[in-house]
Amino acid sequence: MEPAVGPPDYAVPVAGYGAFTGGNHRTSEATVKEKLGSTNALYPLVTAIVGATVDGTPDFATVAHVGVAHLKGITLGMGTMHLTNRGILENGTFSVNLPSEDMVAITDHIGMVSGAKEDKSRHFGLFYGELGTAPMIEECKVTMECRLIEHVQLPTHDLFVGEVVGTYADVDVLTNGVVDIAKLRPLLFDMASRKYWALGEPVARCWSVGKDVMVDQTAGDG
């Protein structure tokens, strides 16, 4: 079979936007982009184990669709089939527990079984904070207890918006009093590859590396 020549019919050349070469300049050649339908391409995402109390019993679900609404705001996108959802609505509280790489097997297991069929709390040591109904996992080096602020019912998912009430961390993952992700080694979930990934190396310092670019732009305006 002869190899295909040129871009496929569904590849869209973006006129005027070639490869980025640094500074303010782009090459004159068009970049070929392939349309992937309505695919959500925001992966990978940090994997969390969400906890709640359901009918007086601690329950957990592995969730990758965890977001940051603001510095103390957390969002959860959870399929409506999860028993944990009922506990969040029942008590108005939940926990977000961040497993490290060495917890990958149990994290995956918690995401594959239903709390209606297995007491998932038996896999962990548990503790509680001031809310009293947000079970947190001792084995997770960073945990947060949250109060439910808003619930939005979507066709296949529940969207929960919560406020962090308390954050707890093992001292061995802290640097200067804050969580050091290089020490935590969180699990990253990627939908496309159906794999958990590890954290890589830092690329640059935030609110710093871009300063040179801004200086160049200002100089070019002269």
Closest CA to 63 of 24, 101, 97: 97
Q: Is residue 222 part of a domain?
A: no
- Number of helices (H), then strands (E), belonging to the chain: the values are 4, 16
Q: How confident is the model at residue 41 (pLDDT cuts 50, 70, 90)?
A: confident
72 and 103 part of one domain: yes
Helix (H) or strand (E) holding 217: helix 211-221
Q: Is residue 212 part of a domain?
A: no
87 and 108 part of one domain: yes
Q: What is the pTM of this model?
A: 0.83
As for how many domains the chain has, the answer is 2
Domain span at residue 33? 9-39
Tens-place pLDDT, residues 54-104: 999 999 999 999 999 998 999 999 999 999 999 999 999 999 999 999 999
19 and 81 part of one domain: no
87 and 192 part of one domain: yes
29 and 75 part of one domain: no
Q: Is residue 69 part of a domain?
A: yes
24 and 56 part of one domain: no
Give the CA angle between residues 68, 69, 75 to the nearest 5°. 70
**Alpha carbons 149 and 151: distance in angstroms, whole number:** 7
Residue 2's pLDDT is 42
Q: Is residue 204 part of a domain?
A: no
Give the CA angle between residues 179, 95, 49 to the nearest 5°. 80
Sequence-distant (6+) residues with CB within 8 A of 83 are 54, 59, 61, 114, 115, 116
Tens-place pLDDT, residues 199-220: 999 999 999 988 888 665 555 5
Region 180-209: mean pLDDT is 94
The mean pLDDT of the chain is: 87
75 and 116 part of one domain: yes
Q: Is residue 117 part of a domain?
A: yes
